[in-house]
A and B are shown apart, each in its own frame.
Chain A
Amino acid sequence: MQPYVNIDAVVDRVVRRHRPPRLQNGVAVDIERMLADYYDIDIARIPDLRIGNASLQGCCFPDRLLILVEAHDAPTRQRFTLAHELGHLEMHYRNTMIQPLFPVEDEAAYFRCVTHEATSEFESQSTSQRRRKERQADVFAAKFLMPLLLVRTAWRQADGNLERCAELLVVSKQAMEYRLAELELATTAL
């Protein structure tokens, strides 16, 4: 059984520990600098990132302190990918000396699943666990790049304009929209 992960608590712990640096606009989190300065992660941008036959947005090698990112992705997407990998590092790879990354299996690499696998009634337990961790990492990324207080500030500065708010936080419009809806800010007078 997979242990419960309190993602809010993990985000809070990371923020308290590192006080994430900001980009030049003074608002958005500088995820790249944070990974470099505090985690000593090497970020390698690779065009047309493929491993095996799989196209990837990014992948993480915790033992090597290495993250590969698809170079052709938009900067906002690359940032989300980096935050997603940070989520893996914090939630799934901590204390790697004493615990396995995933339940012990023969396979050495773990990829995010496609939609048809998600709906398959024959879905394996390992696939389910893997997808759950991917989902957790996505939630971590959203919360880390768009924490409540920061979103409130950006939303106010942007005068309630979704695109402007997304620009301030250097995230995609879609991600911003999801987060605003989640925080119920878009319909709330600040």
Chain B
Amino acid sequence: MKEFVRLHSQDEALTAFVNTALESAIESSLARLISDYLKACPNLSNRAVFRTLQQLNQGTLDDLSREGFVSYIISHTRLSLNDVASARRSLRTFFAYSNKHGIERMAARGATGTVAPPVSELEAVHSRRIS
């Protein structure tokens, strides 16, 4: 837990309470990313997984690759390792789109021609994902 304030040394419980309240009032980087993701992809069938992660209000996207943080999530929620891993991959994709990282290469199946799609178009396509 971060220490935002330090009260009188005899008021440790109150200090912890205030710090917890302040910490929960600040949205973590991961929670903010999830919030944006859920807005951008409104048709997701596994929203509950992301909501749970969001409510935890901890960490960053990179933290989802750290064993310790994943263990923390699993121990504090009902999410499975697969849930967390799947969420990490989805958020990684969204993060790349939302930061307008260019599409380098692509291969497609079942199309009728060759096109170089702009990132904005792919972002729009991605926003319709359902899982």
User: What is the size, in residues, of chain A's interface with B at 8 Å between Cβ atoms?
Assistant: 52
B11 part of interface (Cβ distance < 8 Å): no
B109 interface neighbour in A45, A48, A57, A108, Cβ under 8 Å: A57
Are B93 and A59 closer than 8 Å at their CB atoms?
Answer: no
Are B106 and A108 closer than 8 Å at their CB atoms?
Answer: yes
In the complex, which residues of chain A have a beta carbon less than 8 angstroms from the beta carbon of B113?
A: 52-54, 111, 113
In the complex, which residues of chain A have a beta carbon less than 8 angstroms from the beta carbon of B125?
A: 46, 49-51, 68
Chain A, range 43-102, C-beta contacts under 8 Å to B: 43-66, 68, 70-71, 81, 84-85, 88, 92-93, 96, 101
Q: How many A-B residue pairs have CB under 8 A?
A: 140
For the complex, what is the distance from the CA of A58 to the CA of B109, rounded to whole Å?
Answer: 5
Query: Which one, A3-11, A34-42, A161-169, A182-190, is touching chain B?
Result: A34-42
For the complex, what is the distance from the CA of A71 to the CA of B130, rounded to whole Å?
Answer: 8
B111 part of interface (Cβ distance < 8 Å): yes
Are B104 and A112 closer than 8 Å at their CB atoms?
Answer: no
For the complex, what is the distance from the CA of A137 to the CA of B126, rounded to whole Å?
Answer: 24
Query: Which one, B18-26, B52-60, B83-91, is touching chain A?
Result: B83-91
In the complex, which residues of chain A have a beta carbon less than 8 angstroms from the beta carbon of B103?
A: 61, 63-64, 108-109
Are B122 and A44 closer than 8 Å at their CB atoms?
Answer: no
Give the interface centre of B85, B92, B96, B105 by most chain A CB atoms within 10 Å: B105
Are A36 and B89 closer than 8 Å at their CB atoms?
Answer: yes
B5 part of interface (Cβ distance < 8 Å): no
Residues A44 and B109 in contact in the complex (CB < 8 Å), given A36-B86, A107-B116: no
Closest 8 CB pairs of A and B: A111-B111, A59-B108, A57-B110, A42-B89, A54-B111, A52-B115, A108-B116, A44-B129
